[in-house]
Amino acid sequence: METYTARLTLLVDPDKKRLFEKICAAQDLTSSQVVRRFIREYIDQHVALIDQEALAGETSEH
């Protein structure tokens, strides 16, 4: 699990938000858990698009 966290704020249609939260709850998950999983999977699938040296430089500065 990550050591540090950062807040991500996004706007979503209220009806979709309610449905998303109901589906998450039905799976005994929080919406944050599902979004974090989506982000990890998205990064895994698309990280090859990013210059690895530039990415390493960004992470070492923080």
Q: How far is CA 55 from CA 23, 31, 47, in A?
A: 34, 28, 9
For residue 20, the tally of other CB atoms under 10 A from its CB is 15
Is a pLDDT exceeding 90 seen at residue 10?
yes
Of 9-13, 23-27, 36-40, 57-61, where does mean pLDDT reach its minimum?
A: 57-61
- Phi/psi region, residue 28 (left: phi>0; alpha: psi -120 to 50; beta: rest), is left
pLDDT at position 5 is 86
pTM: 0.72
Torsion sign over Cα 3, 8, 14, 19: negative
